[in-house]
Structure 1
Amino acid sequence: MNAGMERAKALRPRDAATLIIVDRAGPEPKVLMGKRHAGHKFMPGKYVFPGGRVEPEDRRMAAAGALDPLVEEKLNMRVPRPSPSFARAIALAAIRETFEETGLAIGVCDYGAPEDPPPGGWARFAAAGVYPALDAIDFLARAITPPGRPRRFDARFLVVDAGAVAKCIEGVVRPEAELVELVWTPLAKARELDLPNITHLALDDLTEALEKGLERGRPRPFYRELHGKRLREEL
């Protein structure tokens, strides 16, 4: 094994969060997917759900409402340091990344702009006059990138109804951005897009969860690789 492969294998997965926005207003559910820029080293040209890694600022952002206790409990299962603030940061990271990549702000406008937001992405979010809201967020699945990959994430796939979108900022998706195109695709047709393997699994999990009414206490799939064997466990 060469040095590059050894470094890749030794990489510790970084906590990350992805948000699946579901529109159930029509006869069949639709999900929002974005096409990644072809120049990206990580999954170039693939259609994905918006998301990214958890940042320290996500623990400091004010929010309206709180996570459902059952969702918080599931997010904290089998993590090194479980806490309410950890689960909260996962959900807020998903909201922030979605805003940065799509311009869609998940939350409420009833309270005006949040005061003293952390710098960067959250300052831009607050400038839209929206408080991020956590009570509508659900947890779908967890997946850890297998060893040996140049980038590894411990990703949580979260779900929210499209009705939770409080505002849309135009011009975020453009040819030179991280996402160059957004599509609302029927859930049954989403698999026809060029998707990463884990996204196919997430779509299967979403279909099953929707059929069962997104019951909050249900087991959540947990995908990982151990000693070269791919596992699907439950949380």
Structure 2
Amino acid sequence: MHGMSKAEVDAVERIALGAGPKRPRDAATLILLDGEGSAARVLMGRRHMRHAFMPGKFVFPGGRTDPADSRIPAATPLPPEEEARLTARAGKVGAARARAIALSAIRETYEEAGLLIGRRAPFSTAKRDWQGFAEHGVAPSLEAMRFIARAITPPGRVRRFDTRFLAAWRSDVAVELPQGGPTNELEELVWLPLAEARQADIPAITRTILEELERRLAFDPLLKPGGGEVPFYRMIGKRFIREVL
């Protein structure tokens, strides 16, 4: 779809997906933090202008969840408190799907930013998307992942995502590739103080999540497992509401 306008891409997707309501797809986003508490900086990247979805916007690394990621071996599991929250009020989301969501956030951070979260250890898998971890000797680790927020794209959009926003610390990165990730989705990677990140050219929901994160860091600066509340944003009727998981 290179070279197509947003309207043209949307038209193609409407034909491919068919008429009627679109079911949100699972997606995972990682908010990577560097520093302490509210003084921390956050990693963001600018999407290429040629992308139909949020062109030119600064976003966190992330993308659609691959269910097969649940079968990737991890050096450490999700903290039980975080797994319980990921599966709360989420229909058929069980432990395997929660694992897939968390691992997808790690994979996308490698693909888009060249940052491999995990531990230095032998790692092997037949899955092509994870070969970078095998090549650099990094076993992905889930113990540092924290569930920060959830948001579902409102109805009526061509692309709809049920996005889980997770967070981890830069100290949990085992390898930083100087050339960035193997994909070309983000053309500029920057570490921004939280206040500056909120003023950048970002989607409205990203600004809302940053505000939520800043409030949580004010009383939970280490992001302890199970600490703080996890807000859930979605549309009910004609109102975009905030609930707590």
User: Which residue number corresponds to residue 212 of structure 2?
Assistant: 205
- Contact (CA 8 Å) 2:115, 2:181: kept in 1 or not? no
- Contact (CA 8 Å) 1:173, 1:182: kept in 2 or not? no
Q: Per-residue deviation at 1:180?
A: 0.1
User: Which residue number corresponds to residue 106 of structure 1?
Assistant: 117
Q: Which amino acid aligns with 2:195?
A: A
Match of 1:80 among 91, 97, 102: 91
Q: Per-residue deviation at 1:120?
A: 2.1
> Identical aligned pairs, as a percentage?
49
Aligned in 2, Cα 1:68/1:227: closer, same or farther, shift over 3 Å?
same
Instruction: Give 3-state SS (helix, strand or coil) of 2:243's partner.
Output: strand
Instruction: Give 3-state SS (helix, strand or coil) of 1:10's partner.
Output: coil
Residues 77-100 of structure 1, C-alpha deviations (whole Å, 9 max, x = no match): 111213221111111000000100
Q: Per-residue deviation at 1:8?
A: 6.9
Q: Does 1:227 align with 2:234?
A: no
* Structure 1 gaps, min length 5: none
User: Which residue number corresponds to residue 46 of structure 2?
Assistant: 35
Q: Which amino acid aligns with 2:78?
A: L
Q: Per-residue deviation at 1:159?
A: 0.4
Q: Which amino acid aligns with 1:171?
A: Q
Q: Which amino acid aligns with 1:168?
A: E
* Structure 2 gaps, min length 5: 1-13
Instruction: Give 3-state SS (helix, strand or coil) of 1:188's partner.
Output: helix
Match of 1:194 among 201, 214, 219: 201
Match of 2:28 among 6, 17, 24: 17
Q: Does 1:182 align with 2:189?
A: yes
Q: Which amino acid aligns with 2:240?
A: R
Q: Per-residue deviation at 1:57?
A: 2.4
- Contact (CA 8 Å) 1:64, 1:131: kept in 2 or not? yes
Q: Per-residue deviation at 1:123?
A: 1.8
Equivalent residues, number: 228
Q: In the aligned structure 2, how far is the partner of 1:229 from the partner of 1:26?
A: 32
TM-score, scaled to structure 1: 0.91
Q: In the aligned structure 2, how far is the partner of 1:179 from the partner of 1:136?
A: 24
Q: In the aligned structure 1, how far is the partner of 2:206 from the partner of 2:131?
A: 30
Of stretches 146-155 and 209-218 in structure 1, the one that deviates more from structure 2 is: 209-218
> Which consecutive aligned stretches of 4+ in structure 1 deviate over 4 angstroms post-superposition?
4-9
Higher percent of residues as helix: 2
Instruction: Give 3-state SS (helix, strand or coil) of 1:200's partner.
Output: helix
Q: In the aligned structure 1, how far is the partner of 2:19 from the partner of 2:154?
A: 10
Q: CA RMSD of the aligned region, Å?
A: 2.1
Q: Per-residue deviation at 1:27?
A: 8.9
User: Which residue number corresponds to residue 178 of structure 2?
Assistant: 170
